[in-house]
Every structure is written in structure tokens, then in C-alpha cells.
Chain A
Amino acid sequence: MRYLIIFALICSPIVKAQDDLFSLLEVEDIPQDVTATFKGTRIINGQSVELPAKGNLQFLIEHRFGTINSGAYELWGLDQAQMRMSFDYGLTNNTAIGLARNSFQKTFEASIKSRLVRQKMNGGSLISVTSYNAVFANSIRWANPERANLFSSRLSYAHQIMIARKFNSSLSLQLTPSLIHRNLVDKKDINNDYVALGIGGRYKLTKRVSLNAEYFYQFKRLNELFVNSLSIGFDIETGGHVFQLHVTNSQGMFERAFIGETTGKWSAGDLYFGFNISRVFGLK
């Protein structure tokens, strides 16, 4: 008798069959990778935690025009521009290598970017961590060609760790501890290394447009002329392209230049309008 009642309960038509079917399909939420913390591999000037996917080649063109306060004769800076071109290739889903050329000091650049930790949803890491290491070689003619000049004097390096969290689908924030090393400095008492902390983020205004901002604080400035880099801009995404339009007080587009050698003052209107355009090609 007791068993009959149990069977009657199990097979009872009171249990809604539809819900019953769905309950059979329920699975535990497994941790999943958080993607698209930022739209681009750069927040503005500085690197973001993102990197090109495996087998993808990203071509990035960046321009920074002259200062906006240079007046109508220079068309508010549009007559002059510094530019940077780079190719970044995803060797694996967590490692990318890059080559670039900057018109600022005719600088060549080689880099490696690696994802160390990926933020997960439904458990797992709360942050994403990516490392970035780059070597820069300027190729301008020696100031004193008659002197014994070494190639190593042309080199400088950047080492960065990007730590980011996507708080929700709109807001992502990143901290970027950075170490810059220059092989050659002007004076003996200037340190070859300097340390800075970058703070950056994005807030999505619509599905395809975000507001970005970025600031690099230098713990010890090289000299009085150099200020901290502050940039504000928009990301606009259209399919395979990301357009980034911004205003910044840095004209250089590689780490040594914009972190440690920024000269524009926001208060004086020494600002540069600029853009980054990226295109991704699948090469698999």
C-alpha cells in the first residue's frame, strides 16, 4: 500500500510535465571566460588586457595630430601628425607578438603580450591579468656621429602588468603597473628606470560605443618638463573595425614616450586630437 502511494506521487499528473522536462535539463552553471573587457587591445594609448585571438592578425593605425591650441593657421593641429603602425599576431589564444613603427624618433618596436589570468563568471578568477613587454629602438641619426656610438644606446624597454575587471557589461576598470628602462640617459644622475601606475577604464554608452579614459601617474618624473599622461576618448565598433577617437596630452604612442615623456598640459590646452583604427584579419 505504501509503495502504491509513492508510485502514485511520482507519476502524479499534478506535477506539471513541462516543468518536469526542463528540470531534467537543468545543469549547474560552469565557470565561463569573461570576454570583451575592452573593445580594443589598447584603452587609448596604453595596452588593455585584450589581445588578438589565435591566428588573427591585427593591423592598427594610430595618429596624433598637432596641439589643438596651435590655432587656425595649423588648422588646430590637423596639419601635422605623429603616426604609429603596428601588426599584432595571436600565436595562441593567450600569446601575441607585435611589430610596430612610430614616427616619433623614428622608433621601431617589438613586443610580446601574454594573458596570465582570465576573469571568469560563475566562479573562478575575479580579474584578468595580462603582461606586456616591449623593446623600442630609435633610428634617428646620431647627434654626434664622430663619437663612438653603440646600438644599445638606442634601446629602451617597457614592462607592464595589466590587471582588469569587467564589473558588468558596461563598466571595466584596469590598473597598469609599469616599469620603463632606458639604456641611455642624458645625465649621470638620472635613473635609467622609472615606475608608473596606469589607471584606465571604459563605460559602454551603447552596445557599440564606449567612453574611455586613462591616466598614468609617474612616481618620480624625469624632469620638470614632463607631466602625467591623461587621455579621454570614445571607442566605436563597426564589425571588424574598432575606431578610437580621443583627446590626449601625449603625442607619443609607445609606452616610453607617453608614460614618461608627455609634455602637453591640459590646463594650457596643449592637447592632441588623435585616433586609432584597428582591423582584424583571420589568417588561419
Chain B
Amino acid sequence: MLCPLMAQKYMTRNAEVYFLSDKDAVEVVEATNNQVGAVIDLENGEIAFQIQMRAFHFDIALMEEHFNENYVESELYPKATFRGSFVKLPLELAKEQELVVKGIMDFHGVQKEMEFTVALWFEEEVLHGTSKFSLLCSDFGIEIPKIVADKLANSIQVQVNAKLKKL
């Protein structure tokens, strides 16, 4: 093995990120983005995600417009990224493993250190990863105006599904 670094990288451009606001809120906000780029390097345990904000699709067209215009301001901040690494490197991934990832989320111009658990496993040479975590809009400078504050939730549930192929 002359070049083990290259040999251990897994990547996809079609990871899925789905988010759902608190279900108790009057206006439930949910959207899916399935054009998310993700890379995992199993050699050094590094992980990177890149999300085009414009690729989030909503059932309600007006909600999508308001999401881009008024909340995430995708013209100013077209991408969100996460870069981090596994706290402990996985030794064996034939079976599903729960792993902790630590890193920096860069979203809406705000960088924040985050930690969450990721389930990782191999299935037919494809590296599968899923994760569920929550974000607070207020942590990332996303303002919810007073007039709709009782309708929209500050807490957002995020779900990530990725199937990465060896590079």
C-alpha cells in the first residue's frame, strides 16, 4: 500500500439532510436536501459535509422563498459546512457502530463547535452513515421575528443519511 490515505476516503454528492421544526409549533417547517456533499476519511477519522442552502426543498413554495430570503439568507451564505473528526476511530464497521463526532459547524455565517453521535456501517462496500441531532436557530443568528415567534419553533431536528462510495 503506497498510498493508504487515498485508499480510505469515502465520498458522496447525494447525501440527504432533512429537517423538521418542533411539531408542536403552529407552522411546521420541514424540508429535504438530497444534494449534500460528504467525505469521510477512515484513515485519520476526518469528516466533512458541504450543504447548498438553495437545494432545500419545501412542499410549500412560499415557505421555501421565506427560508432563503428571510431566515438562512442563502444569497449571503450560500453554503453550510461541517468539518470534524471521530473522537475514537472505528476499528471495525461490518456491524453498525455508534461513534462520536466533534467539529465545527459553519452555518449562516456563524461557526460553532458541535458534538453528536453518528451511526456508521458497511453494507456491500458502501459506507452508510446516519445521524440525528438538534440545532437552535438562535445559536446561528437566525432571527425569528416577534410577530411569528409563537408560530415557529427555535429548535430544529436534523436528520442526515449518507451512502458513501470508496474513492
Contact residues of A with B, CB < 8 Å?
7, 10-11, 17-18, 21-22, 24-25, 27, 32, 35-36, 53-54, 56, 93, 121, 169, 207-208, 237-240, 280, 282, 284
> In the complex, what residue of chain A is closest to B4 when comparing beta carbons?
A11
CB distance from A280 to the nearest CB of B (A): 5
When C-beta atoms are compared, the residue in chain A nearest to B38 turns out to be A25
Bound complex: CA A21 to CA B11 (Å) = 9
Contact digits for B73-104, partner A, Cβ 8 Å, 1 yes 0 no: 10110000101000000000000000000000
> Across the interface, do B13 and A238 meet the contact criterion of CB distance under 8 Å?
no
Number of A-B contacts (CB under 8 A): 77
* B6 interfacial by beta-carbon distance below 8 Å: yes
Chain A contacts of B60 at CB under 8 A?
282
Q: Please, what's the 1-or-0 string for B1-37, where 1 marks a CB less than 8 Å from any CB in chain A?
A: 0111110010101000000000000010000000001
Q: How far in angstroms is the closest Cβ of chain B from A93?
A: 8
A239/B6 contact (C-beta < 8 A), A22-B83, A56-B61 known: no
Contact A17 B27 (CB under 8 A): no
Residue of A nearest to B3 (CB): A11
Chain B interface residues (CB < 8 Å from chain A)? 2-6, 9, 11, 13, 27, 37-39, 41, 44, 46-48, 50, 54, 59-62, 65-66, 68-70, 73, 75-76, 81, 83, 145, 147-148, 151, 167
Q: How long is the Cα–Cα vector from A54 to B83 in the complex, in angstroms?
A: 38
Q: List 25 A-B contacts (CB under 8 A).
A: A7-B3, A11-B4, A11-B5, A21-B41, A21-B47, A21-B48, A22-B48, A24-B11, A25-B13, A25-B37, A25-B38, A25-B48, A25-B50, A32-B54, A35-B68, A35-B69, A36-B69, A53-B62, A54-B61, A93-B61, A121-B75, A169-B76, A207-B69, A238-B147, A282-B60
Q: Roughly how many angstroms separate A56 CA and B75 CA in the complex, as a whole number? A: 25
- Given A24-B167, A25-B48, 20 extra CB contacts under 8 A: A10-B3, A17-B41, A18-B46, A21-B9, A21-B46, A24-B39, A25-B11, A25-B13, A27-B37, A35-B68, A35-B69, A56-B61, A169-B69, A169-B75, A207-B69, A208-B70, A237-B66, A237-B70, A240-B62, A282-B59
User: Measured between alpha carbons, how far is A22 from B51 in the docked complex, in Å?
Assistant: 12
Query: CB distance B61 to A53 under 8 Å?
Result: yes
Closest A residue by C-beta to B48: A21
* The 7 nearest A-B residue pairs measured at CB: A53-B61, A25-B37, A21-B48, A25-B50, A21-B39, A207-B70, A11-B3
**Central interface residue in B9, B11, B13, B62, by most chain A CB within 10 Å:** B62
A36 / chain B contacts, CB cutoff of 8 Å: 65, 68-69
Chain A residues within an 8 Å CB radius of B61:
53-54, 56, 93
Nearest chain A CB to B140's CB is how many angstroms away? 15
- Interface contact A25-B148, CB-CB below 8 Å: no
Known: A7-B2, A24-B167, A280-B62. A17 touches B44 (CB 8 A): yes
- Give the Cβ gap from A87 to chain B, nearest Cβ, in Å: 16
* B39 proximity list for chain A (CB < 8 A): 21-22, 24-25
Residues of A within 8 A of B81 (CB): 22
Q: Taking CB as reference atom, which chain B residue is nearest A284?
A: B59
